[in-house]
Structures are given as C-alpha cells and as structure tokens.
C-alpha cells in the first residue's frame, strides 16, 4: 500500500480522488498547506500530494526526504512553487501537464465577456429591480486584436475562441509552435498592438513580472488584461497604477501574486491585510476570481486520474513516469521530452 499525505485538501479534491478509488493507494487528507511547519504531518507516508500554494522549497524537501518521502505529486500543471533542482537526487516530482485546457481557456473567455459587457454589474442591478442601462456600455470583440502570451494547449484553445468572435490574433512565445497559422510577434509589438492581452505562460525567473510598469506604458490606452496563469506574471502594484492612470481599461484576474494566504479560503468575516488586492477588488473595472479557472468536473476527474497514475508509475513500472519533472540534464522540459529512463 502506497501511503500519500494529501495537503491543502478541499471538498472537491477529496470527492474526485475518493470517487476514482485505488486499492494500492491510501490517502491521508490534510486541510493545511505544506510548508516547513507542516511537513512532519507526512511522517509515515511514502509520498505527498500538493497544489499550487503549497510551499515546497529546499528546506521542506530536505525535511520530507528525512521523513522517508520519495515522491512529490503535484495535482496541477505549474511547478513554480517546487524547487525541482533541489529535489533532484532525493525526491521524484511529478505534475499534471494537461488536465483540461478547455476549462482554463473558457474561464478566461468568461472573465473577458463578463468584464467587457458588464454582466456582473447588470446582474447586481436587476436583482434590485434596477433596469437602467447607464454605465453598461461595452465594445464588440469582432475586429479587435487579441495578444496571446504563451501558445501551449491552453493558449491555442483561447486563440480559437478569440477567432470565433472574429478577433485578429497575434501571439508571443519563446518557443513558437512550428508550422502553425499563428502570427507570432515580439513581446513589445504585442504590447503596442493589442486591445486585449491574455496570459497563458508558465511562471519562471524570465517571465516573472513580464507585465510591469514599462510593459503597461507600451500598451494601448484602454487595454484589457486577462490572467488565468500565475499571479506573479503581473506586477500587481504596476497594474494598479495603470488602472488608476486610466491606461488599463480593465483587468480580469483569476490569479494574484500574493494569493497563497487568501485564495481558496472564506475570508468574508476578516479584514483583508493585502492592501493592493483590496484596492484592485474595489476598482469598478477589475474582476477577481480565486484561482477558479481549472474547476470543472472534467478537469477534477482528469487531475485525479493522472495524479494516481503518476504515483503508481513512480512506485512501479521501474519508476519511469512520463510526467516527472527532472533536473538531471539541467532543463526540466527537455528532460520530459527525451525521457527514456528514470531520472535518478
């Protein structure tokens, strides 16, 4: 029996994994997030299962290793919260690279539509029997230019959605999709030409704060910025300044740079100490959802299935797992593509 400490458990997590079931895996469901203070809760387990806001840094990895943990199973695609380099040679790390790209792309479109057509404001008004249209004027998507940063599976699905609205699409990606019909441009050109900018790239040292004061200065007046990827892609303070200066017309955020202690929890009875987030939420042209883009029945089912398969592959099948994140050759993504044996 493979024993797994399941951190940051929510009701929908437990339901999807219990529904799937597996006689070879025993879960220890924990409400708390993984950090150096909670690592010892995994004592007696073989693996830990973590999510986007669990802090899996070098100190946590060393403690888990000392406890006998041999695998970290991420139940998400992003792995910026895990020190994969430090884990090499100690603990195997896996992720779920594609659980439902449609879920995230569709949520980005939902945020965009809601913001531009003022759906959220109209909903609140009509519940009070206020049927005035004043202040609800939006704009057509048709003919506008959408700039997509990141053309992985999610980015390409969002491109298809934008094209369905009759939008012209340009894109930036450090690694363009070969032989595609996507019009790739430089990042600066994307900033200057786009009416709407949507982020669909991973968070790395290179992409951190790619949307900063300098980037916003290059953008069109009234630009709409959508982020369903990782919060730290955007300098939140620079975004707030851009909104206050009327340069940014609207922001649709499913992620936030300092979300770890706020998102996924009910904070309605508390004073929010994060002043930047409080001010963003108070802006009439900002929509914030709490890292909800992935949350569909299909995505939860796929996450559970892939995570379980990752765990079984690491402890069986000679330990080879296609979804392992490895640092043996110094390039995590290259290792994934060329894997023919266990990383260590």
- Which DSSP string do the residues of 289-301 spell out, in sequence order? -SS-TT-SHHHHH
How many Cβ atoms from other residues are within 10 Å of residue 102's Cβ?
15
Question: Which pLDDT score is estimated for 187?
Answer: 98
pLDDT tens for residues 95-136? 998 888 999 999 999 999 999 999 999 999 999 999 999 999
Residue 142 annotated to the active site: no
95 is catalytic: no
Among the listed residues 86, 95, 118, 291, the single catalytic one is 291
- Work out whether strand 223-227 and strand 71-74 pair parallel, antiparallel, or are unpaired: unpaired
Q: Would you give the DSSP letter of residue 99?
A: S
Domains of the chain: 2-99+297-338 (3.40.50.720), 101-288 (3.40.50.720)
Q: Can you tell me the distance from the alpha carbon of 3 to that of 151, in angstroms, rounded to the nearest whole number?
A: 37
Catalytic residue among 106, 230, 257, 324: 230
Query: What local confidence, expressed as pLDDT, does residue 144 receive?
Result: 98
Number of neighbours of residue 104 by Cβ within 10 angstroms: 26
Strand partners, 102: none
Q: Which two tokens stand for residue 209?
A: 């704060």
pLDDT of the residue at 318: 75
- DSSP conformation letters of 32-68: SPPSTTTGGGGTT-SEEEE-TT--B-HHHHHHHHHTT
pLDDT at 265: 87
Q: Are 46 and 26 in contact (CB under 8 A)?
A: no
Known active-site residue 316: no
What pLDDT is attached to residue 326? Answer: 78
Could you tell me whether strands 145-149 and 223-227 are parallel, antiparallel, or unpaired per DSSP bridges?
A: unpaired
Angle of CA points 160, 161, 162, to nearest 5°: 90
For residue 7, the Cα-to-chain-centroid distance in whole angstroms is 18
CA distance 288 to 265: 14
Euclidean distance between CA atoms 77 and 202, whole angstroms: 9
Q: What is the per-residue pLDDT for 335?
A: 64
Model pLDDT, residue 319: 77
- Name the 3-class secondary structure at 325: strand
CA distances, 95 to each of 126, 276, 282 (Å): 43, 31, 35
- What's the confidence (pLDDT) of residue 337? 56
Q: Is residue 253 a contact partner of residue 280, using CB atoms and an 8 Å limit?
A: yes
CA dihedral of 283, 198, 100, 321, whole degrees rounded to 10: -120
pLDDT given at position 333: 62
* List of the chain residues with pLDDT < 70: 317, 328-341
Q: Of 106, 257, 259, 324, which one is the catalytic site residue? A: 259
């Amino acid at each position: 029996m493979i024993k797994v400490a399941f951190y940051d458990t929510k009701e929908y997590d437990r339901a999807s994994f219990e529904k799937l079931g597996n006689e070879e895996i025993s879960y220890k469901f924990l409400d708390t997030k993984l950090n150096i203070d909670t690592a010892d809760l995994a004592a007696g387990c073989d693996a830990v299962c973590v999510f986007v806001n669990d802090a899996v840094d070098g100190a946590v990895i060393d403690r888990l290793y000392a406890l006998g943990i041999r695998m970290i199973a991420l139940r998400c695609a992003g792995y910026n919260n895990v020190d994969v380099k430090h884990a090499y040679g100690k603990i195997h790390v896996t992720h779920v690279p594609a659980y439902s790209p449609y879920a995230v792309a569709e949520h980005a479109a939902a945020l965009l539509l809601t913001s531009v057509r003022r759906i959220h404001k109209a909903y609140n008004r009509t519940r009070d029997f206020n049927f005035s249209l004043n202040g609800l004027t939006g704009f057509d998507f048709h003919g506008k230019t959408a700039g997509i940063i990141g053309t992985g599976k999610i980015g390409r699905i969002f491109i298809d959605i934008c094209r369905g609205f009759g939008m012209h699409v340009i894109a930036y990606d450090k690694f363009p999709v070969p032989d595609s019909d996507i019009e790739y441009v430089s990042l600066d050109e994307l900033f200057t030409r786009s009416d709407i900018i949507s982020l669909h790239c991973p968070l790395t040292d290179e992409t951190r704060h790619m949307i900063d004061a300098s980037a916003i200065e290059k953008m069109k007046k009234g630009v709409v910025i959508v982020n369903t990827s990782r919060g730290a892609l955007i300098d939140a303070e620079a975004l707030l300044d851009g909104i206050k200066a009327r340069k940014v017309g609207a922001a649709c955020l499913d992620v936030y740079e300092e979300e770890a202690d706020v998102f996924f929890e009910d904070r309605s009875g508390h004073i929010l100490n994060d002043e930047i987030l409080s001010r963003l939420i108070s802006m009439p042209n900002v929509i914030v959802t709490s890292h909800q883009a992935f949350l569909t029945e299909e995505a939860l089912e796929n996450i559970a299935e892939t995570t379980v398969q990752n765990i079984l592959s690491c402890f069986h099948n000679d330990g080879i797992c296609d979804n392992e994140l490895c640092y043996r050759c110094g390039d995590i993504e290259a290792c994934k593509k060329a894997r023919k044996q266990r990383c260590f």
